[in-house]
Amino acid sequence: MDVSGFPVERSIRPYLIGLGLALILTAIPFALVATHALPRLTTLVIIAIAAVIQILVHLGFFLHIGFRSTPRENLIAMAFAAVLIVFMVGGTLWIMFDLHHRMMV
Partner 1 sequence: MTATTTMDATPISHEKYEERAFGFWIYLMSDAIIFALLFATYVVMLGNTAGGPTGKELFSLERAAGETALLLLSSATFGFAAVALANADKSRSLLWLLVTVALGAGFLFLEFREFRGMIAQGAGPDRSGFLSAFFTLVGTHGVHVSIGILGIFVIIGQVLIKGLTTPVVSRLARLGLFWHFLDIIWVAIFSVVYLPGLF
Partner 2 sequence: MEIFGRLTIDSLPFYSAIAASGAAVTMLGALSVMALITYFGAWRLVLFDWVSSLDHKKIGIMYIMIALVMLLRGFIDAAMMRSQQAIAYNNDGYLPPGHFDQIFTSHGTIMIFFMAMPFLSGLINLIMPQQIGARDVAFPFMNSVNLWLTAAGAGLVLISLVIGQFSTAGWTGYPPYSGAEYNPGVGVDYWLWAVLISGVGSTMSGINFLVTIIKCRAPGMYLFRMPLFTWTVFVTSILMIFAFPALTVACGMLALDRTFGMHFFTNAMGGNMMNYINLFWLWGHPEVYILILPAFGVFSEVVATFSQKRLFGYISLVLATVAIGLLSFTVWLHHFFTMGSSANVNAFFGIMTTIIAVPTGVKVFDWLLTMYRGRIIFKPPMLFTIGFLVTFVIGGLSGVLLAMPPVDYLLHNTTFLIAHFHNMIIPGVLFGYLAGYMFWFPKAFGFKLNEKWGAWSFWCWIIGFYIAFMPLYVLGLMGMPRRMEHYDVAAWQMHLIIAAVGAFIIFLGIVCLGVQLALSIRDRQQALDLTGDPWNGRSLEWATSSPPAPYNFAVLPKVRSVDAFWDMKQRGVAYHQPDRYVDLVLPKNSFIGAFIGGAGFVFGFAMVWYMWWLAVLCLAAIALAVIVRASDDDTDYVMLASDVKEIEDARCAELAKAPRNEMADDPGFAGEPVLEASA
Q: Which span sits near partner 2 by CB under 8 A: 17-25, 47-55, 57-65, 78-86? A: 78-86
The answer to whether 1 touches 7, Cβ cutoff 8 Å, is yes
Helices (H), the chain: 13-35, 40-57, 72-103
Rule CB under 8 A: is residue 58 a binding residue for partner 1?
yes
User: Could you tell me which of 81, 27, 72, 77 has the C-alpha nearest to residue 54?
Assistant: 27
Sign of CA dihedral 49, 27, 59, 90: negative
Which residues sit at the interface with partner 1, rule CB under 8 A? 1-6, 8-12, 14-16, 18-19, 22-23, 26, 29-30, 33-34, 36, 40, 43-44, 47-48, 50-51, 54-55, 58-59, 62-63, 71, 73-74, 77-78, 80-81, 84-85, 88-89, 92-93, 96-97
Which residues sit at the interface with partner 2, rule CB under 8 A? 73, 80-81, 84, 87-88, 91-92, 94-96, 98-99, 101-103, 105
